[in-house]
A = this chain, B = another copy of it.
Amino acid sequence: MSELTHFNNQGRARMVDVSEKEVTKRTAVARGSIRMRPDTLTLIREGKIGKGDVLAVAQVAGIMAAKKTSEIIPMCHPIPLTGVDISFEEKGEDTIQVEATAKTTNVTGVEMEALTAVSVAMLTIYDMCKAADKGMVLEDTYLVSKSGGKSGDYRRELED
């Protein structure tokens, strides 16, 4: 079984040395869902039809957060992101699924960038709708897939 590599020989956290790792193209996809009251989802949807667009703000927030990942997550390496995209999909009458894709050409991967983008996009939706619905829940957030790098590709087995 793999060890936790984020600790030095004093047993303390360190930013792992990746100097010898190879530069490759890397992609990661993450996904999360935010569940709300159906009338809250209606409000968001109507906002889209007019010009007030909760999801447009969440999209910008998620992309900007992806760029801040190494500032927010202590042991993350700073990464020259070459692309970030976020999309939204309604699931049933009460849930929005957020999916983020992050890309780089670098010695380390972009899993944390994709997961951070998803989390912050959902937190932004919460923030913008919380006057109407404080009971919203950020549901399962996980890595969907990653490619590139020595450890090989990863693809989560999804139920739906």
Residues of A at under 8 Å CB distance from B? 1-8, 10-19, 25, 32, 39, 43-44, 47-48, 50-57, 59-61, 63-68, 70-88, 103-107, 111-112, 115-116, 119-120, 123-124, 126-143, 146, 151, 154, 156
Q: Which residue of chain B is the closest to A115 with respect to CB atoms? A: B123
Is A68 a contact partner of B71 (Cβ separation < 8 A)? yes
Q: A19-B25, A142-B137 given as contacts; is B6 within 8 A of A128 (CB)? A: yes
Sample (8) of A-B pairs whose CB atoms are under 8 Å apart: A6-B131, A8-B87, A12-B51, A19-B104, A76-B127, A77-B80, A119-B123, A134-B156
Given A12-B51, A111-B130, A138-B141; 7 other pairs, CB 8 A cutoff: A1-B43, A12-B52, A13-B59, A72-B123, A74-B124, A112-B130, A130-B143
With the chains together, A146 CA to B68 CA distance in Å? 27
How many chain copies? 6
When distances are taken between beta carbons in the complex, the residues of chain B under 8 Å from A67 are 15, 70-71, 78
Is A112 a contact partner of B126 (Cβ separation < 8 A)? yes
Closest 5 CB pairs of A and B: A11-B51, A17-B83, A7-B52, A138-B141, A2-B132
Q: Which residue of chain B is the closest to A9 with respect to CB atoms? A: B87
Is B11 a contact partner of A52 (Cβ separation < 8 A)? yes
With the chains together, A86 CA to B74 CA distance in Å? 13
When distances are taken between beta carbons in the complex, the residues of chain B under 8 Å from A3 are 43, 131-132
